[in-house]
Structure formats: C-alpha cells, structure tokens
C-alpha cells in the first residue's frame, strides 16, 4: 500500500464516520501534508481519488468540500460506505429491494424464455447445496448469490447484469443478515424451488411472480427484524 493509498483510506474513513461532516471543507493541502507527513503529490493523489469515488468536490479558489455522498454518490460510493460502517439504513434497504423487484422479476420472466437444460441442472444443484448447508449462513449466502446471478445472466440484459454485479457487496451484506433470521433458510428454499419449477416448464409469468415472492419475503423478514430491535439500521454481525 502506497502512502497515497493510506491517506485516501484514512480521509475516506474520517468522512464516512463524520469527522469531516457533509458540506464541510477539508483541511488545506499544507495541513494534510503535515498531518500525514507526506508530500504534496501524495496528498493530491489521495484527494483526486476521493473526488473519483464521489466523496468530495473541489471548488476553485475555495477548497475541497465533502459532498452528500449518501444521496449524490455512485453505487461504488455506497459499497465503500457499507464496508466502513457495516450498517445499512432501512430507507436504503427499501430502495434496494424496490430496485431488485423491478429488475429481477422481469429478469426471471426473461430467463424462462432462454433457459436450457444445463441451466436447470445448475440451479437444481445450487438448491441442493442450500438444502444440505441450511445451518451455514456463509454457504447459504454464497448459494443464494449464485442462484440469482445465474438467472440475471439468463435474462440476456447486459445492463442488468452489470448493475447486479456491482451490487454484489451490498447484496451479500443483506443476505447474510437475512439468513441469520429464524426460518429464513427454509422459506427461501421453498420459494426458490417454486421459481425453479416455473423456469423448468418455461413459464415466464410464473417465474416473474415467483421471483417477486422471493424478494418480498426477504424484505418482509428483514424489515420486521429491524423493527423488533427498535433501530433504523441493519447491522452486520
């Protein structure tokens, strides 16, 4: 890790945890050079990366300011925030699930039109792995992602594929929490099997409906768990 990398990570972490609040101005270049005992080049490189990552913006003859990265950042910004905070707020989670409902339900319907016998065998094996590892959250999360990812690939929509892949860290965060809940594994497997049956008979409407059920089941269970804790955030253990 270079000095610029360490400066970038240190400043990014400080921004995310609120040391530098939204809309506040970062310390001057001179102050940052002294703080990190670094060259101006290393500090400038770190600032450039913060700009590229969606955390700050530089205003000519004024300075560098923290932006409202939660609302104005990119997917990559969200992923970085998630990795640092290890939490996701309920509103962001709802937005994520709404997006998944809009994209994955259609993807499942499209997948039913494109699926081959080899794909059915692959998905069947994934569900077998879920069944055999019902007590392992880690293995359930992995199998869940592979199941949904295969369906996204079968949809044939390249943009959906790219977006889904970029969401992987957020997806894994959500599903790890989901599978820690009582009955989550059993209900998920039951609904996955329903989706696979629809895909097997190439029932596009049935596949789309089954995917909707899967996603709504996940959202319902997670929101109920958050509500029981009295918190407004989902915390990763």
CB 218 within 8 Å of CB 178: yes
Helical segments of 18-67, H only: 29-36, 40-52
Pairing of strands 63-66, 56-59: antiparallel
> pLDDT in tens for each of the 237 residues of the chain?
899 999 999 999 999 999 999 999 999 999 999 999 999 999 999 999 999 999 999 999 899 999 999 888 888 888 888 888 877 777 888 888 899 999 999 999 999 999 999 999 999 999 999 999 999 999 999 999 999 999 999 999 999 999 899 888 888 888 988 998 988 999 999 999 999 999 999 999 999 999 999 999 999 998 888 888 766 666 665
Enumerate the domain spans of the chain: 3-72, 87-235
3-state class (DSSP) for residue 234: strand
Question: Packing angle between helix 3-17 and helix 29-36, nearest 10 degrees?
Answer: 110
CATH architecture of the domain 3-72 equals Orthogonal Bundle (1.10)
pTM exceeds 0.95, yes or no: no
CATH of domain 87-235: 1.20.120.530
Distance CA 106, CA 206 (A): 11
Residue 190: CB partners within 8 Å, gap ≥ 6?
none
């Amino acid at each position: 890790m270079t000095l610029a990398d360490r400066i970038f990570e240190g400043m990014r972490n400080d921004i995310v945890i609120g040391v530098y609040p939204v809309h506040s101005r970062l310390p001057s270049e001179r102050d940052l050079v002294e703080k990190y005992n670094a060259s101006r080049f290393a500090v400038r490189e770190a600032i450039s990366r913060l700009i590229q990552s969606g955390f700050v913006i530089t205003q000519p003859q004024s300075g560098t300011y923290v932006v409202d990265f939660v609302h104005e950042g990119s997917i990559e910004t969200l992923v970085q925030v998630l990795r640092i905070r290890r939490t996701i707020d309920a509103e962001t989670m709802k937005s994520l699930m709404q997006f998944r409902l809009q994209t994955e339900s259609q993807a499942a319907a499209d997948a039913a039109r494109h699926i081959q016998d080899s794909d059915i065998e692959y998905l069947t094996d994934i569900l077998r792995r879920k069944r055999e590892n019902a007590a392992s959250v880690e293995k359930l999360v992995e199998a869940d992602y592979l199941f949904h990812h295969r369906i996204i690939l079968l949809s044939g929509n390249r943009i959906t594929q790219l977006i889904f892949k970029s969401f992987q860290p957020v997806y894994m965060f959500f599903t790890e929490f989901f599978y820690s809940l009582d009955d989550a594994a059993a209900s998920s497997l039951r609904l996955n099997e329903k989706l696979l049956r629809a895909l097997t008979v190439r029932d596009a409407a049935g596949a789309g409906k089954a995917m909707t059920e899967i996603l709504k089941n996940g959202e319902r269970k997670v929101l109920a768990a958050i509500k029981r804790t009295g918190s407004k955030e989902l915390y990763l253990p």
